[in-house]
Chains A and B, each alone.
Chain A
Amino acid sequence: MSLIKHPQVERLEAHVSEALTKELGEKKLFSVAPFSEEHAEQTGSSDYSYWRSTFRAFRRHWVAMGLLVLLLAILIFTFIQPYLPGQFDPNAIANAENGLPLKNQPADSVHWLGTNSIGQDLWARVWAGTRNSLIIGISVALIEAAIGILVGILWGYVRQLDFLLTELYNILDNIPTTIVLILVSFLLRPGMSTIIFALSITGWIGMARFVRNQVLIIRDRDYNVASRTLGTSTWRIMTRNLLPYLVSVIMLRMALSIPGAIGSEVFITYIGLGLPIEVCSLGNLINEGRKLMMSPNLRYQLIYPTIILSIVTVSFYIIGNAFSDAADPRNHL
């Protein structure tokens, strides 16, 4: 059979839909159609936006969304609570009509969560404690983030530093942070700034490593190589090209370090190196409650602080993980 001549086999005729035949007529149907180049290109443009897809993925996680709302409500409430009517000072001792302190009262309409063993209003104490613990947690997270990001970016981006910092990391990573916490608290005498300091000096290391790993992955991508060849300064590359991609990792670490910090505070209080008693914190409250926990009717002094502590820590944990999952482009389907 030759290439160009018509086939020798008789060409068949196929069924063409009646509607078409009626509308255009066979002759027109089988004539050559005009050709348009734009029509040939059918690549739909992708309207993919990273942040929009991230938030959409996060919104689907309804547990995290619910907890986010709850957490925000708690956060706002802890700070406005003292200004609401009918609130007691957390350190003030309430007295009954006979002048004696109202010790260990169960919850009633005046003292919404009852009083503790020296007569202080538990509701006020719980919120004051939450406030302080949150301050500690958030401060630690911010400081860890600031130091960790700075070191991490340098570590990942500047090749000369890599070996030194990696070895340093391997050593520092194995020092038990709790031991450091104990020793530092012991040395510097317990207090808010001591705890924040002690927790931050070990926490930034983990953040630095995460950031460094991300930077390594992104550093040698073509657009960064292009920037470098154009002579862009290292600082500008770090802040403009790298930092936006680190956000999800950073948010996750911060979200997880808050429950960690709160937990460490509870731990250190138990050992006796926590905040002084005048400063209300969840750690102090739980410790006080622990002493009474064996008597069933006084147990509430342990349970109320625990509930709020659990809600706060679990919320941060879940929200942090959900956000990190949502920020991962692989989950943008």
Chain B
Amino acid sequence: MLKYLAKRVARSLLTLFFILTIVFVLVRQMPIEGYFPNFEKMTPSQIENGLHQMGLDQPMTVQLANFYKGLLHGDLGVSRVYNRGKPVWDILKTKIPISIQLGSLSILFSMLVGLPMGIHMAQRKGKLPDHLGTAFIVLIQAVPAAVYYLFIQLYGTELMQIKLRFDPGDWRSWILPVLSLSLGNIAYYAMWIRRYMVDESTKDYVQLARIKGCNGSRIMFRHIFRNAFVPMAQYLPTSFLNTVIGSIYIESLWSIKGMGGLLVDVIHKQDNNMILGIVLLFACVGIIGLILGDVLMVLFDPRISFTKKGGDGA
């Protein structure tokens, strides 16, 4: 079992390495205005000098190597445009906690609402709760998040008398952002757990449990749900990513001083190093989600098959 985990972790790290390299190379292609706050006013020799100082005139492989060296020391470079001279990491440090709070609250909330909803839908398959739930899921999955976030903000603030400006200390201003961010995952979890439970309920061992004389709720929870929950672990990484992406939009929509809002800012201001730093951090969150998902899979399933994700035939 441990060997299996080690293999998955190694693969995740390899993925991380891959992502970082690709992103790094991509970002290094970005226009060099992103390194100079007053690019228009600089002379060609000044620019050349500046580039040389930052090591940007080296061949790509050297730049990559330097980057990883710096990474191991916790050095993500220095912001050039957004906040002159301040190391990227120092800027990010202040923004991370709020994003983590927002993200974790959202994921927790999604699970607490999405799973029971899906179970309820599976139990009442074909009846009204199922149809209502399906309508909800369809709306959330089809209509772009960007759109319903707006409407939640619009009508939510009016109806609930919440200020537009986000105040981390006031618990009320957390409600709408967390809710908006969670909707996508709620629909996701509900849809999948319902599907898995319906699939399990037609299996032979459920038939035997009925023959044994288990009553409805015992079968539903001790057998069907418990078994349907196992493959859910593979959706954890995706929901992490969903939350990360969603937070980019939500944070800027509500002016929350977190990583996502920062990303939009630095893109507008074209600060290449900042962009690189933030994207890196997001990638790490994604990888953490991956590893967590693998760990959960191993914990839940005694049969552990070694080709569960991506490589299997089903």
- Which A residues have a C-beta under 8 Å from some C-beta of B? 166, 169-171, 173-176, 178-179, 182-184, 186-187, 209, 213, 216-217, 259, 262-264, 266-267, 270-273, 286, 290, 293-294, 299, 302, 306, 309-310, 313-314, 316-318
The 0/1 profile, CB within 8 Å of A marked 1, for residues 240-283 of chain B is 01001100110010000000000110011000000100010011
A216 touches B313 (CB 8 A): yes
Alpha-carbon separation in the docked complex, A273 to B30 (Å): 14
- Stretch of B37-45, B119-127, B143-151 contacting A (4+ beta carbons < 8 Å): B143-151
Within 8 Å of chain A (Cβ to Cβ): is B54? no
Q: Contacts of A187 on B, CB cut-off 8 Å?
A: 26, 29-30
Complexed CA–CA distance, A174 and B285 (Å): 11
Q: Contact check, A175 vs B309: say whether CB atoms are below 8 A apart.
A: no
Bound-complex Cα distance A213 to B313 (A): 5
Residues from chain A with a CB closer than 8 A to the CB of B245 are 176, 178-179
Interface residue B177 (Cβ < 8 Å from any Cβ of A)? no
Annotate B5-19 by CB proximity to A: 1 below 8 A, 0 otherwise.
000000100110011
Interface size on B, residues (CB 8 A): 47
Residues of A with C-beta under 8 A to B175: none
Q: Given A174-B287, A182-B267, are A306 and B18 neighbors across the interface (CB < 8 Å)?
A: no
Interface residues of B (CB under 8 A from A): 11, 14-15, 18-19, 22-23, 26-27, 29-30, 138-139, 141-147, 150-151, 154, 164, 237, 241, 244-245, 248-249, 252, 263-264, 267-268, 275, 279, 282-283, 286-287, 290, 309-311, 313-314
A173 contacts B310, C-beta separation under 8 Å: yes
What would be 12 A-B contacts, judged by CB atoms less than 8 Å apart? A169-B310, A169-B311, A174-B290, A175-B19, A179-B283, A213-B313, A259-B143, A270-B252, A272-B267, A286-B146, A314-B142, A318-B142
Decide: B142 and A293 in contact? CB cutoff 8 A: no
Answer whether A314 and B139 are a contact pair too, CB < 8 Å, given A171-B14, A187-B26, A187-B30. yes
A169 contacts across to B, CB distance below 8 A: 310-311
- Contact in complex: B138, A317 (CB < 8 Å): yes
- When distances are taken between beta carbons in the complex, the residues of chain B under 8 Å from A286 are 146-147, 150
The answer to whether B138 and A310 touch across the interface, beta carbons within 8 angstroms, is no
Q: In the complex, what residues of A have CB within 8 A of residue B309's CB?
A: 170
